[in-house]
Amino acid sequence: MKTIVLIGDPNVGKSVLFSRLTGVDVIASNYPGTTVDYTKGRMNLHGEPVIILDAPGTYSLEATNKAEEVAVSLLDQADVIVNVVDATSLERCLLLTVELLEKRKPVIVALNMWDEAQHLGIHIDVRELENILQVPIVPTVAISAQGIKELVQRLDEARISERPRLAGEDQVWMEVGHIVRKVQTVAHRHHTIRDRLVDATVKSGTGWLAAMGVLFALFWLVRLVGEGLIKYGVEPVFDLYRVPVAALSGWLGPGLLHNILVGTLIDGQVDYVQSMGILTTGLFVPFGMVLPYIIAFYLALALLEDSGYLPRLATVTDNVFHKLGLHGHGIIPVLLGLGCNVPGVLSARTLETRKQRFIAATLVSVTVPCMAQSAMIFGVLGPHGARYILLVYGTLATVFILLGLVLNKTAHGECPELFLDIPPYRRPSLLAVTKKTWMRVRWFVTEAVPFLFLGILTVGVLNALGVINYLARPLAPFMQGWFGLPGTAVPALLAGFLRKDLAVGMLVPLALTPAQLTIAVTVMTLYFPCVATFAILLKELGVKDMLKAVAVMILTSLLVGGILRTFLIGWIR
Amino acid sequence: MCLAQGKKVSHAMNEKTLSQLKQGDTATIMVLHGGGGFQRRLRSVGLQVGKIVRVVAKHHFAGPVVVEVERRQITIGRGMAHKIVVEQEP
């Protein structure tokens, strides 16, 4: 089967084009480095199936990092190369184009973001460029499917350029400059107020103000959408659902099956949070409490990603992250980690050195609560007042900074400087944002929800067998002595290894004071990653560094738990 | 030796490193220092000899510098900016 490879500079829209061609959805954002591995898809080309590969972005065929190496190695498999070029920065993209032409493989160029180039007053003489490069060139706007049809129709015209080979890099650069002067004219434009506002978001003082404003708006949006979905979407459904569950409970009668399916009745009634049955708590925690916030978070994240703001946030926060052994790009693992720690740890891959990757992965898995856990924290602590929630997040943020400072001093290795290409601001497309949110939410439902079921089942069975009490007994004095928590909180902490949202839910029936709840959920975030994060840490860091990370977690949770206890409860009863 | 020094002095009037420019300054890139890989990285985002750059932002505490070249903005570390020699427009 014919293989077509999409290749181009970072953030030129390869993944959007790939989705257009294959119908396969891939995560695309408005910042460089979204794709760290290649994606494979198929399409029908004039009735014949062909394979399409979406390569990570690369500026040149001389790779400088892991993702770029992937891109270059894909070229060997290519029967046809589709070189995606950003029409708004033709000059820098042409370096790769000229290098690709020398590969002596059939090439076709998609001159993407054509609309934006016109908007900016950039005119490119496509005919002339075709004559010079001797390969077909198709202007496209991948995001709105403009020019895609023509690109597909002309794929067969992709041809091997017969331009003479250039000797050495300097010659290539000179040639690129020469071509650009020949085909491109740019209308001069003055700096507008809009330009000034855009620049303000990347400067020191105003940039921080903008960052705080954006992050505040993000949290506000998550809360608004999350609470809205619960109030108007989920709650009415679960209210209706009470009737069949009560009927089932009566029909089953007491016994093991009742305990597994419906769980224990609280005051003769099903309690969605406390009953711990698969059909009650097992459905309510993921769909009634967590899912609304997952949707809300990923919606807000998609808006943020597609707007092009993230590289600016990375620039503004760079100084702070350098103190923690990272650079501004470290904000990406943190933001993704707030959704789910697994993609958060994975995105540490885009950092250059082993030290940076270790610090980022450790900080995320120790101090960043995932959205599933956050949703439960809001649900459980919310009724006691916002100050307890603030206390939890304030503590976690403080630990993030302090732990980063310590790790930076103790971990060996380099911390290189930030090097970031800043994309223009773009208005996020409603369709793209919805699609991306849907992909991530679907991931949560298919990957995380089964785990939650498994967790509830395990807790139910172990509880029935008395295993949990057996495990809890020796730990109970320590719980009481150090954290000021009752021994009954031990099972919840143990369950946190399976799912942290479930673990927070298990605290509800214990009738803890707000102070105890605050300590418990903070320790739960810090002490150990859930099994999915644990597996990904092992894969990304290796056994030795993973063990180091775990040691850091245990120490941190003991220390922070003890300190919180001192301030919130005190030591004398 | 003497000549080389003299040459440097005569250029010192308006020749600086990019890291010495102030926020809002405009200058032309004269020389790129540093290793081959580093220079390629700079050139691949448009930071080439002869290009006009504008300093959009310069962060405190030896923080990063944001430069605009060919209508695109790029964030580079202060150390990197130190390796780019520019001639400031009067």
The alpha-carbon gap from B37 to the nearest alpha carbon of chain A, in Å, equals 8
Sheet of A39-45: strands edge to edge?
A39-45, A48-54, A3-8, A80-86, A107-112, A137-139
Are the beta carbons of A420 and B74 separated by less than 8 Å? Answer: yes
Count other Cβ atoms within 10 Å, centred on residue A255. Answer: 8
Find where tokens 């293989």 sit: A3
Chain B contact present for A192, CB below 8 A: no
Closest of A138, A135, A178 to residue A157, by C-alpha:
A135
Of the residues A419, A425, A426, the best mutation for testing chain B's interface (the one with the most B CB atoms within 10 Å of its CB) is A419
State the helix-helix crossing angle for A449-465 and A467-478, rounded to 10 degrees: 90
User: How many CA within 13 A on the CB side of residue A513?
Assistant: 9
Among A186, A221, A255, where does a domain finish? A186
Please say if the pLDDT value at position B68 is more than 60.
yes
Residue A506, CA distances (Å) to A77, A488, A491 in order: 52, 10, 8
Contacts of A319 in chain B (CB under 8 A): 59-61, 63-64
Which segment of A16-25, A544-553, B43-52, B71-80 scores lowest on mean pLDDT?
Answer: A16-25
CA dihedral sign of residues A101, A103, A108, A109: negative
SS3 A39: strand
Contacts of B75 in chain A (CB under 8 A): 202, 311, 314-315, 318, 328, 418-420, 422
The alpha-carbon gap from A156 to the nearest alpha carbon of chain B, in Å, equals 30
CB A92 within 8 A of CB A43: no
Q: Can you point out the beta strands (E) in A419-465?
A: 419-422
Of the residues A61, A170, A204, the best mutation for testing chain B's interface (the one with the most B CB atoms within 10 Å of its CB) is A204
Contacts of B44 in chain A (CB under 8 A): 9, 59-60, 92, 95
Count other Cβ atoms within 10 Å, centred on residue A391. Answer: 20
**Same domain assignment for residues A176 and A217:** no
Nearest CB to A422; choose among B48, B70, B74: B74
Chain B contact present for A446, CB below 8 A: no
Are the beta carbons of A314 and B56 separated by less than 8 Å? Answer: no
SS3 A372: helix
Contacts of A311 in chain B (CB under 8 A): 75
Are the beta carbons of B56 and A202 separated by less than 8 Å? Answer: yes
Nearest CB to A92; choose among B44, B58, B79: B44
3-state secondary structure string across B15-78: EEEHHHCCCCCEEEEEEECCCHHHHHHHHHCCCCCCCEEEEEEECCCCCCEEEEECCEEEEECH
Chain B contact present for A89, CB below 8 A: yes
Q: Do the domain assignments include residue A449?
A: yes
Residue A496 per-residue DSSP state: T
Where does the pLDDT of residue B10 fall: very low under 50, low under 70, confident under 90, or very high at 90 and above? very low
SS3 A84: strand
CATH of the domain at A65: 3.40.50.300
- Strands B15-17 and A3-8, sheet pairing: unpaired
Chain B contact present for A434, CB below 8 A: no
Residue A68: per-residue pLDDT: 81
CB A380 within 8 A of CB A388: no
What CA–CA distance (Å, rounded) separates A192 from A23?
Answer: 39
Are the beta carbons of A199 and B64 separated by less than 8 Å? Answer: no
Of the residues A89, A418, A425, A426, the best mutation for testing chain B's interface (the one with the most B CB atoms within 10 Å of its CB) is A418
Chain B contact present for A555, CB below 8 A: no
Contacts of A203 in chain B (CB under 8 A): 23, 56-57, 66
Superfamily of B2-88 according to CATH? Ferrous iron transport protein A (FeoA) (2.30.30.90)
Contacts of B61 in chain A (CB under 8 A): 319
Q: What is the complex's ipTM, to 2 decimals? A: 0.86
Q: Do the domain assignments include residue A192?
A: no
Q: Do the domain assignments include residue A98?
A: yes
Among A186, A214, A238, where does a domain finish? A186
Q: Chain A, 386-425: which have a CB under 8 Å from a chain B CB?
A: 416-422, 424
What CA–CA distance (Å, rounded) separates A25 from A317?
Answer: 31
Q: Do the domain assignments include residue A562?
A: yes
State the helix-helix crossing angle for A514-527 and A371-381, rounded to 10 degrees: 170
DSSP A146-184: BTHHHHHHTGGG-B---PPPP-HHHHHHHHHHHHHHHHE
Query: Between A and B, how many residue pairs show a Cβ–Cβ distance under 8 A?
Result: 97
Sheet of B84-88: strands edge to edge?
A419-422, B72-76, B65-69, B52-58, B26-32, B84-88, B15-17
Domain span including residue A361: 204-421+430-568
CA dihedral sign of residues A324, A330, A333, A335: positive
Q: Do the domain assignments include residue A198?
A: no
pLDDT: which is higher, B7 or A433: A433
CB A436 within 8 A of CB A304: no
Domain boundaries, chain B: 2-88
Closest of A6, A101, A103 to residue A56, by C-alpha:
A6
Residue A390: per-residue pLDDT: 93
Among A186, A218, A240, where does a domain finish? A186
Number of domains in chain A: 2
Please say if the pLDDT value at position B42 is more than 80.
yes
Q: Do the domain assignments include residue A193?
A: no
**Same domain assignment for residues A125 and A63:** yes
Of the residues B45, B72, B75, B78, the best mutation for testing chain A's interface (the one with the most A CB atoms within 10 Å of its CB) is B75
End-to-end CA distance of chain A: 75
What CA–CA distance (Å, rounded) separates A572 from A566?
Answer: 10
**Same domain assignment for residues A130 and A247:** no
Are the beta carbons of A92 and B76 separated by less than 8 Å? Answer: no
Q: Read off the pTM.
A: 0.88
Contacts of B37 in chain A (CB under 8 A): 62, 64
Contacts of A89 in chain B (CB under 8 A): 46, 70-72
What CA–CA distance (Å, rounded) separates A388 from A382?
Answer: 8
In chain A, how many H helices and how many E strands? 27, 9
Ramachandran bin of A35, using left for φ above 0, alpha for ψ from -120 to 50, beta for the remaining angles:
beta
Local confidence pLDDT in tens for the 573 residues of chain A: 899 999 999 889 888 899 889 887 777 676 666 666 788 888 888 888 999 999 888 888 887 777 788 888 899 999 999 999 999 999 989 999 999 999 899 999 999 999 999 988 999 999 999 999 999 999 999 988 899 999 999 999 999 988 888 878 888 888 999 999 999 999 887 778 888 899 999 999 999 999 999 999 998 999 999 999 999 999 999 999 999 999 998 898 888 888 888 888 888 888 888 887 888 888 898 899 899 999 999 999 999 999 999 999 999 999 999 999 999 999 999 999 999 998 899 888 878 888 999 999 999 999 999 998 999 999 899 889 889 999 999 999 999 999 999 999 999 898 899 999 999 898 888 888 998 899 889 988 887 788 778 888 887 788 778 887 788 888 889 888 899 999 888 888 888 888 888 889 888 888 899 999 999 999 999 988 888 889 889 988 999 999 999 999 999 999 999 999 999 988 765
Residue A12 per-residue DSSP state: S
Q: Which residues contact B24 (CB under 8 A, 6 or more apart)?
A: B54, B55
**Same domain assignment for residues A352 and A325:** yes
**Same domain assignment for residues A182 and A208:** no
Chain B contact present for A204, CB below 8 A: yes
Contacts of A199 in chain B (CB under 8 A): 56-57
